[in-house]
RNA sequence: GGGCUCGUGGUCUAGUCGGUUAUGACGUCGCCCUUACACGGCGGAGGUCGCCGGUUCGAAUCCGGCCGGGCCCA
């Protein structure tokens, strides 16, 4: 044990946190592949290396670290890996911005190198924040998706799914961002409300309303509702497209809304998802009017080369001139945009790569996973249910995992590399063998690259040791922690890939965390100026306070509003615990403690009961990932039970030297030790610091989780009485204008049980206290009656009020000794036991005393 | 438009398979520097538990409707 004068007066989180950060060793958190302990593998989210670890990440990582540390203390072999999901457009854009170039100004390889360098720099910055936050990361299991080691696995997974038929290429309409010049998946489409114009114009004698006149060149049919009698004459006919002159068929489809516009719509390839639907349904031709850059194509005739906005204006102008534009009205619409750059997406038909979506398979695996909170499973179900298209995984970008495929220039045969040669970039190297079909050695490497979700959706396979052959050794992982914003992407794709590649669910449990909102209750955003960065909190209050906010801010799974109050109260709790530490150390260093000392005094037994309850509550809450419940129980025990009640009761006893002191010392140490251990997952620096003073050279993080139990029902009941008596007498002093330490005269406590308080009550109240079990010799008068309404209600139902009136009508003697039956509304009825308690006022003969009643305990106070 | 979720003192929050006086934090007011702590202690004020209706002896809690916020999806 350290000496109390080594403890600084104030807890200096900055000094303490930095000191322990330097002391702790990474190896302590390494997953042991040869361990016999049960495994607990976490499929940590790999953040995008923006350079800033934001507060939403911080919350999620707090949760992860709470249970990672807890599970280690519970004896699990924990893997808490750290991944980095590097590829993708944001980095490409940043590189272009920082270097004042566009991706076409340098070679693909040069551009990739710039992206890699920026990413490395960003990762380095974010690692520092992770360390400051005291996350018990397993750095031996760090993975970086842009490294050959990782993306060769991505490529291997591609080849495996290609071989098993999950992956195919085809020409199919896809969501396309013409600014980013790449296809994107539905999960990357964000919808925005915009106002547009609905244009009514004459279409070969029929009025048609459209929001996208620029697609006239791509018109392939006119659709009407089959029951729409207005258009009976058109059935089976074809019509001439205005301005362009090509003929298109008239088709009938139930999905046409006769009330919208004129009830006749033009089908273009493609204005929206509905067009794709109709196009397939009615087997229509394909007219590509927009190219990858968003410019009008050849078939747009004189409009060729214009962008869509220019084309729209030109066509509307021409329609006006030809007097075929009838009217224009405003229309609110929801338009799909690129999640990254907010450019409205186009639907283009392109040769792309797809992953087959098999909804039943995914639903089945999703249901085998335990979801916290449960209702988040619904989001997955809903998303899977409405999937219509397969997952488009090819992207026309640069900084991403290459698609490891070549095509024979002579016969078009697809050639894939040997698995042992992975990773490959087919744009840089050639296949090692000639074409099997035609023997040619001329190949074109696939220039498309993979969606970054193809990288991150195998995170769990990567950490569990997947090598391409069935189930990995540590698969499935025990838990996936993630936000609800990426259920439809990361969770969905991961389940899909795990099932496709291993046949099984990826994890046993999924813990979904909420989003962090700003102090104003809105999503944090630059424009609102409500962004809080973790560094700011680390600077002002330290990592432990930030972590406590993460635990206490809201129930696990619900959105959490950032709140400085919670951070402040977290710091205060640390101050309180610091002083408890100091007090305990001062007391225990006087003579140590005897672990076999008999625990005798009521207060001591009571605290151990409270501790036992707390340990049970906290353990249960940790098992259920209810960190708010757990930390709240810890704080309540420390602050309320230990500091405000127990220590106040026993400090007098601790100041003196007699036999009963040993009991208090043992209890103080037991409680303190348990508190350190229970706090260890939440406030690792603080818990370590406090623990170290009592156990120099030992780490609280290497201790087992608390398993303390103490069963003493009498101590619970009598101890609660004791605490209440003290509280009531304090209030009495307060009400009578006395200082809390003001001396009182004789205080007699008439309690139903004999109490051995070792003099604690007297010293605490500064009074001559006597506990007695005999009846107080007081004249008492009944002033009121307390009813146990839960019993009254259950027993008497509608007669409840009548019963209570009947009881009130009883004589004082009957109230003291209740009869067996009572007359209610003229009916003699059984009187249940303990259904009411008389409230008394007491007068003591002769002596002037004040009387307090606390339940069945009577306290008489003689003023000094 | 559909699905999910939430609405509790000034602010944030617990409780939500019905039951005596609705939890805690921050703020606020009063008293107290008692040998761990004034970054503290003790005490107080402050709530029609979003609104309306229903079920029940009894509703923050269950049911229905409405209003409002958030998220996801059309």
pLDDT in tens, A767-801: 888 898 887 777 777 767 777 777 777 788 778 77
Nucleotide nearest to A186 (CA to C1'): B73
Q: What percent of chain A has pLDDT over 70?
A: 98
- Residue A458 confidence class, pLDDT cut points 50, 70, 90: very high
Q: What is the DSSP string of A724-787?
A: HHHHHHHHHHHHTT--TT----EEEEE-SS----TTHHHHHHTSEEEEE-SPP-EEEEEEEEEE
Q: Is strand B in 7 Å reach of the CB of A785?
A: no
Strand order through the sheet with A167-177: A182-184, A167-177, A346-355, A391-392
Per-residue pLDDT for A134 more than 80? yes
**A479-497 average pLDDT score:** 92
* Separation between the CA of A533 and the C1’ of B5 (whole angstroms): 26
Per-residue pLDDT for A533 more than 70? yes
Q: Is strand B in 7 Å reach of the CB of A637?
A: no
Per-residue pLDDT for A133 more than 80? yes
Per-residue pLDDT for A847 more than 70? no
* Separation between the CA of A689 and the C1’ of B69 (whole angstroms): 43
d(CA A706, CA A619): 9
**A578-590 average pLDDT score:** 92
Task: Give this prediction's pTM.
Answer: 0.89
* Chain B, protein-covered positions (CB within 7 A): 2-6, 11-15, 19-21, 24-27, 30-37, 39-44, 56-58, 69-74
Q: Is strand B in 7 Å reach of the CB of A619?
A: no
Per-residue pLDDT for A514 more than 80? yes
* Separation between the CA of A370 and the C1’ of B24 (whole angstroms): 30
Protein residue closest via CA to C1' of B3? A382
**A396-405 average pLDDT score:** 95
**A124-146 average pLDDT score:** 96
Nearest to A664 by CA among A639, A647, A683: A647
Q: Is strand B in 7 Å reach of the CB of A528?
A: no
Q: Is strand B in 7 Å reach of the CB of A246?
A: no
* Separation between the CA of A404 and the C1’ of B50 (whole angstroms): 58
Distance of CA A430 to the CA centre of its chain: 45
Q: Is strand B in 7 Å reach of the CB of A582?
A: yes
d(CA A194, CA A177): 17
Task: Scan residues 281-340 of chain A and list those with Cβ within 7 Å of strand B.
Answer: 334
Per-residue pLDDT for A842 more than 70? no
**A459-487 average pLDDT score:** 93
pLDDT at A845 (0 to 100): 58
| Residues recorded for chain A | 864
Unique residue bearing structure tokens 């009916």: A827
pLDDT at A849 (0 to 100): 76
* Separation between the CA of A569 and the C1’ of B9 (whole angstroms): 19
pLDDT at A280 (0 to 100): 85
Nucleotide nearest to A334 (CA to C1'): B74
Please give the helix or strand (H or E) that residue A515 lies within, else none: none
pLDDT in tens, A143-194: 999 999 999 999 999 999 999 999 999 998 999 988 888 888 887 888 777 7
Q: Is strand B in 7 Å reach of the CB of A378?
A: yes
Instruction: Using alpha carbons, list the distances in angstroms from residue A110 to A97, A106, A288, A842.
Output: 15, 6, 34, 93
pLDDT at A17 (0 to 100): 96
Q: Is strand B in 7 Å reach of the CB of A727?
A: yes
Task: Scan residues 329-348 of chain A and list those with Cβ within 7 Å of strand B.
Answer: 334
């Amino acid at each position: 044990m350290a000496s109390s004068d080594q403890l600084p007066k104030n807890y200096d989180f900055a000094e303490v946190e930095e000191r322990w950060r330097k002391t702790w060793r990474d190896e302590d958190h390494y997953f042991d592949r040869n361990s016999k302990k049960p495994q607990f593998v976490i499929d940590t989210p790999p953040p995008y290396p923006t350079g800033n670890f934001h507060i939403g990440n911080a919350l999620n990582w707090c949760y992860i670290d709470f249970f990672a540390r807890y599970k280690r203390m519970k004896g699990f072999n924990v893997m808490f890996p750290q991944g980095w999901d590097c590829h993708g457009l944001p980095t490409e854009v940043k590189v272009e911005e920082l270097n004042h170039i566009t991706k076409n100004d340098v070679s693909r390889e040069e551009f990739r190198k710039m992206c890699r360098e920026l990413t490395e720099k960003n990762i380095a910055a974010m690692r520092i924040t992770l360390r400051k936050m005291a996350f018990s990361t397993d750095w031996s299991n760090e993975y970086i998706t842009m490294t050959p080691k990782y993306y060769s696995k991505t490529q291997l997974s591609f080849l495996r799914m290609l071989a098993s038929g999950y992956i195919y290429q085809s020409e199919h309409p896809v969501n396309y961002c013409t600014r980013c010049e790449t296809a994107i998946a539905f999960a990357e489409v964000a919808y925005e409300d915009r106002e547009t114009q609905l244009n009514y114009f004459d279409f070969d004698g029929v009025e048609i309303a459209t929001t996208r006149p620029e697609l006239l060149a791509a018109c392939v049919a006119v659709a009407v509702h089959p029951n729409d009698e207005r258009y009976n004459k058109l059935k089976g006919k074809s019509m001439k497209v205005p301005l362009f002159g090509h003929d298109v068929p008239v088709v009938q489809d139930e999905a046409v809304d006769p009330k919208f516009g004129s009830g006749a719509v033009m089908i273009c390839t493609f204005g929206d998802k509905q067009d794709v639907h109709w196009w397939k349904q009615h087997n229509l031709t394909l007219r590509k009017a927009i190219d990858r850059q968003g410019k009008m194509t050849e078939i747009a005739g004189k409009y060729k080369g214009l962008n869509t906005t220019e084309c729209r204006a030109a066509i509307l102008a021409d329609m006006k001139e030809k007097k075929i534009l009838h009217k224009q009205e405003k229309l609110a619409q929801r338009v799909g945009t690129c999640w990254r750059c907010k450019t409205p997406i186009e639907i283009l038909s392109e040769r792309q790569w797809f992953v087959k979506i098999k909804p039943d398979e995914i639903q089945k695996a999703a249901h085998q996973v335990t979801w916290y909170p449960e209702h988040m499973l619904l989001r997955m179900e809903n998303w899977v249910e409405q999937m219509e298209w397969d997952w488009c995984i090819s992207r026309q970008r640069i900084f991403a995992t290459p698609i490891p495929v070549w095509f024979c220039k002579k016969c078009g045969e697809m050639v894939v590399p040997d698995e042992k040669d992975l990773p490959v970039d087919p744009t840089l190297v050639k296949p090692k063998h000639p074409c099997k079909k035609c023997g040619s050695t001329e190949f074109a490497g696939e220039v498309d690259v993979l969606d970054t979700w193809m990288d991150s959706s195998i995170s769990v396979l990567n950490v569990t040791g997947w090598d391409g052959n069935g189930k990995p050794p540590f698969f499935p992982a025990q838990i996936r922690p993630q936000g609800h914003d990426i259920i439809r992407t990361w969770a969905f794709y991961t389940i899909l890939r795990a099932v496709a590649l291993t046949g099984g669910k990826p994890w046993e449990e999924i813990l979904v965390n909420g989003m962090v909102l700003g102090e104003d209750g809105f999503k944090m955003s630059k424009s609102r100026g409500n962004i809080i960065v973790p560094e700011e909190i680390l600077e002002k209050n330290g990592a432990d306070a930030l972590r406590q906010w993460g635990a206490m801010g809201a129930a696990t799974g619900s959105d959490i509003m950032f709140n400085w109050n919670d951070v402040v109260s977290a710091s205060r709790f640390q101050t309180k615990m610091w002083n408890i530490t100091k007090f305990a150390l001062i007391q225990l260093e006087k003579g140590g403690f005897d672990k076999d000392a008999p625990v005798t005094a009521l207060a001591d037994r009571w605290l151990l009961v409270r501790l036992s309850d707390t340990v049970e509550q906290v353990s249960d809450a940790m098992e259920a990932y209810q960190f708010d419940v757990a930390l709240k129980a810890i704080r309540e025990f420390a602050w309320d039970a230990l500091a405000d009640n127990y220590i106040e009761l026993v400090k007098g006893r601790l100041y003196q030297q007699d036999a009963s002191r040993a009991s208090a010392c043992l209890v103080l140490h037991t409680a303190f030790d348990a508190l350190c251990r229970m706090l260890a997952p939440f406030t690792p620096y603080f818990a370590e610091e406090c623990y170290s003073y009592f156990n120099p050279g030992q780490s609280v993080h290497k201790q087992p989780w608390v398993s303390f139990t103490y069963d003493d029902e009498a101590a619970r009941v009598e101890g609660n009485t004791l605490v209440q008596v003290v509280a009531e007498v304090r209030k009495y002093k307060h009400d009578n204008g006395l200082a809390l330490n003001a001396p009182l005269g004789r205080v007699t406590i008439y309690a139903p049980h004999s109490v051995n308080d070792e003099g604690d009550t007297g010293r605490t109240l500064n009074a001559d206290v006597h506990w007695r079990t005999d009846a107080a010799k007081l004249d008492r008068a009944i002033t009121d009656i307390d009813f146990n309404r839960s019993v009254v209600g259950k027993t008497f139902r509608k007669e409840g009020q009548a019963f209570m009136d009947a009881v009130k009508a009883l004589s004082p003697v009957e109230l003291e000794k209740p009869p067996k039956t009572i007359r209610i509304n003229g009916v003699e009825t059984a009187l249940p036991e303990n259904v009411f308690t008389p409230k008394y006022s007491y007068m003591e003969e002769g002596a002037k005393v004040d009387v307090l009643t606390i339940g069945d305990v009577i306290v008489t106070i003689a003023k000094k």
